[in-house]
C-alpha cells in the first residue's frame, strides 16, 4: 500500500501512483474560476485535461485524492491546476515558464520507500 501524504516530482513519485488521464473533462469550482479571473485567464481554461507535467500527488487511505499539474497556456506562461481524482479543479494559478520555484519545502512531502532503500 502507498504511504499517505503528499509526493512531489522533485523528491519522487512512486511509479505505481495513478496519474490523471489526458482528455478527461474538467469541472471547475467557483473558487477556481475566481482565481483564473484574478490572473485574467478565465477564458483560457481548458474544457478537458491537456498534456501536462505532474507536479504533486496527495494520497489519503492509499487512494490518490489530488493532483497538481502544470500545462502549457501562453508562450511565456503555464497554467497550474489542483484537481481532485474526480477531475474537479479546485484552484488554478499562472506561472512564468522560466519560474523554477527554488522554495520547495521538502519536509511537506513523503520520500518514496524505494528512494529510502537506495539512499
Confidence check: pLDDT of 117 > 70: no
pLDDT of 50 strictly over 60? yes
The pTM of this model reads: 0.90
The angle at the Cα of 89, spanning 27 to 104, to the nearest 5 degrees, equals 165
Cell match 471547475: residue? 28
User: What single string gives the DSSP state of each residue in 45-61?
Assistant: --SB--S-EEEEEEEET
Q: Is the Cα torsion angle 22, 27, 30, 34 positive or negative in sign?
A: positive
Instruction: Give the contacts of 80 (CB within 8 A, at least 6 positions apart).
Output: 55, 68, 69, 70, 71, 92, 93, 94, 95
The mean pLDDT value for 92-97 works out to 94
Amino acid at each position: 500500500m502507498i504511504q499517505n501524504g503528499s509526493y512531489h516530482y522533485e523528491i519522487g513519485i512512486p511509479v505505481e501512483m495513478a496519474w490523471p488521464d489526458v482528455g478527461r473533462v474538467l469541472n471547475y469550482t467557483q473558487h477556481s474560476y475566481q482565481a483564473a479571473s484574478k490572473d485574467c485567464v478565465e477564458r483560457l481554461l481548458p474544457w478537458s485535461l491537456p498534456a501536462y507535467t505532474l507536479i504533486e500527488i496527495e494520497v489519503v487511505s492509499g487512494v490518490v485524492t489530488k493532483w497538481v499539474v502544470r500545462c502549457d497556456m501562453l508562450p511565456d506562461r503555464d497554467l497550474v491546476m489542483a484537481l481532485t481524482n474526480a477531475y474537479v479543479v479546485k484552484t488554478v494559478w499562472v506561472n512564468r515558464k522560466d519560474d523554477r520555484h527554488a522554495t520547495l519545502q521538502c519536509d511537506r512531502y513523503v520520500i518514496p520507500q524505494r528512494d529510502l532503500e537506495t539512499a
